[in-house]
Structure 1
Amino acid sequence: MWLILFLTFIVAFIIYLKLKYFTFRSSVPGLPPQFLFGNLLQTGLFKGNSLPQIYTSLRNRFGDIYQLQLGLFHAFIISNIDDIQHIFNHRHIYDQSDWAVKLAGILFPNCLITVKGAKHKRHAAVIMPLFRRAKSISNFDSIIDCTEKLLENWRTFSNDHIHCDIVQQCQNLLLQIFGLIAFDYDLETINGSNTNELTQTLSNLSDVLEQTIFLPNFISRIYTIFSSQYRRDRATAERYLYRMIEQELTKTAESRAQRKKTSLIASLVDSLQTDEIAEAKKSEEEKKGKL
Structure 2
Amino acid sequence: MVSIVIAALFVIVITLIYIYLKRAYSPSPDDLPGVKPHIVFGNLLNSGILTGKLSFHQVFLDYQRRFGDKFQFWFGSHRCFVFCGVEHAQIIFADRHTFEQAPLSFPNFDLLCPNAIVMLTGAKWKRHIRVLLPMLKRAKIIGHLETIVQCADRFIDQNLHPGQVHRDLVSSCQSFTMNVIGFIGFDHDFDAHINSPIKKAFRDFIFYSVSILLSPWLPRWLGKIYLKYNWKYQHAYRLIHELSEKLVEEEQNKESEMENKRPKNLIASLVSSLNEQANDDQVSSGLTHAEIFDEVLIMILAGYETTSTALSWFIFFASKNPQVQQKMKEELRKHHLLMTDDLKYVPELTSENLTSLTYCECVTKEVLRLAPVAGFSVRIATCDTIVDAVKIHRGQTVFIALNNINTDARYWHHADPRQFVPERFLGEDENHHSLAMIPFGGGHRACIGQELAWLELKTIIVRMMQRGITFEDTSENTGGYEDHLSCLPKKLAVRVRFD
- TM-score w.r.t. the length of structure 1 is 0.78
**Given the alignment of the two structures, is residue 53 of structure 1 paired with residue 50 of structure 2, yes or no?**
no
In the alignment, which of 99, 117, 137 is matched to residue 122 of structure 2?
A: 117
In the alignment, which of 72, 76, 81 is matched to residue 77 of structure 2?
A: 72
In the alignment, which of 277, 282, 289 is matched to residue 286 of structure 2?
A: 289
Structure 2 unaligned runs (5+)?
A: 292-499
Determine which structure has the larger helix proportion and give its number.
1
The structure that has the greater radius of gyration is 2
Residue 264 of structure 1 corresponds to: 266
The question of whether the paired residues in 2 share the 8 Å contact of 1:104 and 1:209 is answered with: yes
Alpha-carbon distance between aligned partners in 1 of 2:25 and 2:134, rounded to the nearest angstrom: 37
Q: Deviations over 1:150-197 (max 9, x none)?
A: 233454231xx33334334333322222222222222233x42x12x3
Structure 1 unaligned runs (5+)?
A: none
Alpha-carbon distance between aligned partners in 2 of 1:129 and 1:149, rounded to the nearest angstrom: 28
Choose between structure 1 and 2 for higher RCO, CA contacts under 8 A separated by at least 6 residues.
Answer: 2
Residue 42 of structure 1 corresponds to: 46
Tell me whether 200-209 or 165-174 shows the greater mean CA deviation.
165-174
Q: Deviations over 1:223-247 (max 9, x none)?
A: 1332333333323222211211111
Residue 184 of structure 1 corresponds to: 187
**Given the alignment of the two structures, is residue 134 of structure 1 paired with residue 128 of structure 2, yes or no?**
no
Alpha-carbon distance between aligned partners in 2 of 1:139 and 1:65, rounded to the nearest angstrom: 42
Residue 230 of structure 1 corresponds to: 233
Tell me whether 161-170 or 237-246 shows the greater mean CA deviation.
161-170
Residue 245 of structure 2 corresponds to: 242
Alpha-carbon distance between aligned partners in 1 of 2:119 and 2:181, rounded to the nearest angstrom: 20
**Given the alignment of the two structures, is residue 204 of structure 1 paired with residue 209 of structure 2, yes or no?**
no
In the alignment, which of 14, 17, 35 is matched to residue 21 of structure 2?
A: 17
**Given the alignment of the two structures, is residue 170 of structure 1 paired with residue 173 of structure 2, yes or no?**
yes
Q: Deviations over 1:42-82 (max 9, x none)?
A: 22123323334334444554556544323234544456678
Alpha-carbon distance between aligned partners in 2 of 1:212 and 1:89, rounded to the nearest angstrom: 30
Displacement of 1:265 in angstroms is 0.7
Counterparts in 2 of 1:283 and 1:129: CA distance versus 1, 3 Å:
closer
The question of whether the paired residues in 2 share the 8 Å contact of 1:23 and 1:33 is answered with: no
Q: Which amino acid aligns with 2:48?
A: G
Alpha-carbon distance between aligned partners in 1 of 2:43 and 2:79, rounded to the nearest angstrom: 10
- TM-score w.r.t. the length of structure 2 is 0.48
**1:215-226 to 2 correspondence within 5 Å?**
215=215, 216=218, 217-226=220-229
The question of whether the paired residues in 2 share the 8 Å contact of 1:118 and 1:284 is answered with: yes
Count of matched residue positions in the alignment of Structure 1 and Structure 2: 277
Counterparts in 2 of 1:89 and 1:240: CA distance versus 1, 3 Å:
farther
The question of whether the paired residues in 1 share the 8 Å contact of 2:274 and 2:286 is answered with: yes
**1:23-34 to 2 correspondence within 5 Å?**
23=27, 26-34=30-38
Alpha-carbon distance between aligned partners in 1 of 2:124 and 2:67, rounded to the nearest angstrom: 34
Q: Which amino acid aligns with 2:44?
A: L
Q: Which amino acid aligns with 1:272?
A: L
SS of residue matched to 1:32: coil
